[in-house]
Amino acid sequence: MTHYFIRPIQYLINGACNGLTFIRRLFGRLTKPLADTLYPDGIKCVACGNELVADNKYGLCDRVECRLLHNECYCDKCGSNLGDSGDNPIGIQLCKHCKQESHPYEYVRAPLVYDAKVKDLIRSYKFGRKRYLSKFLSQHVIDCYYEHICNKVQIDYITYVPVHKSKLKARGFNQAELIAKELAETIKKDQPHASVPLLPTLDKTIQHKLDTAQKGRKARFASVSGVMQLKKATRQLS
Ligand SMILES: [Zn+2]
Ligand SMILES: [Zn+2]
């Protein structure tokens, strides 16, 4: 079986004060984690915190500082951004790693350039326990799916990287699972007859000693070796 990976309202209240002020006062009294969980979607830009003046599916305002770079020049294999180093804009483009290494997957596509802004947003989602960011981050993945995946390959199922049960307990959610779920639900809503099932395929059996986000490329590869295993039900699929 071939595997493919995708690597992320306006609100009105009538009354003495406007809706945004009312909500800010109300939630300002709550503790931060609770406010992060309950804060209504779309009120603030997820990157800078400024109020949004219009609906935006990515939860971002119009400021230049908040525009995320779309990954338009990428390695055809691993999907990493090539910047200005794309040496063959017409044919297949490969990064320096993929010119030398083979991979056990068909291809990867990443919707955004992983720069400081995206890194901050993902860290905020993952480690800041801002679960609501899954809705906005998944929009980038959904767009990427429709642009780069669905018309090119037959998808059997959508899966995600698991987190260890101790981390799941501490964080309260698996950030990859929430995004995968949003993707599967959107496809089901858009194309009820061509929906793609969400399938948990892996278990993480060993916890990392250090967070992989803080490691270099080689160390990250080495650190995930042997820490996951296929679920029993998944073995029957291959
Ligand atoms: Zn902003
Ligand atoms: Zn590559």
What confidence tier does 6 reach under pLDDT thresholds 50, 70, 90?
low
In this prediction, residue 5 carries a pLDDT of 52
- For residue 52, which ligand has an atom nearest its CA? 1
Chain mean pLDDT for the chain: 79
pLDDT value at 174 more than 90 = yes
* pTM of this prediction exceeds 0.85: no
Compute the distance between CA of residue 14 and CA of residue 22 in angstroms, rounded to an integer: 10
Q: Which of these, 188, 196, 68, 189, lies nearest to 137 by C-alpha position?
A: 68
Cβ distance 149 to 141 under 8 Å? Answer: no
The sign of the torsion formed by the CA atoms of 2, 101, 97, 119 equals: positive
Chain centroid to CA 55:
20
- For residue 51, which ligand has an atom nearest its CA? 1
pLDDT value at 23 more than 90 = no
- For residue 100, which ligand has an atom nearest its CA? 2
Compute the distance between CA of residue 70 and CA of residue 85 in angstroms, rounded to an integer: 16
Spacing, Cα 79 to ligand 2 middle (Å) = 6
Ion ligand 2 neighbours (CB, 5 A) are 75, 77-78, 95, 98
What confidence tier does 44 reach under pLDDT thresholds 50, 70, 90?
confident
Spacing, Cα 186 to ligand 1 middle (Å) = 25
Spacing, Cα 144 to ligand 2 middle (Å) = 17
- For residue 98, which ligand has an atom nearest its CA? 2
Compute the distance between CA of residue 28 and CA of residue 100 in angstroms, rounded to an integer: 53
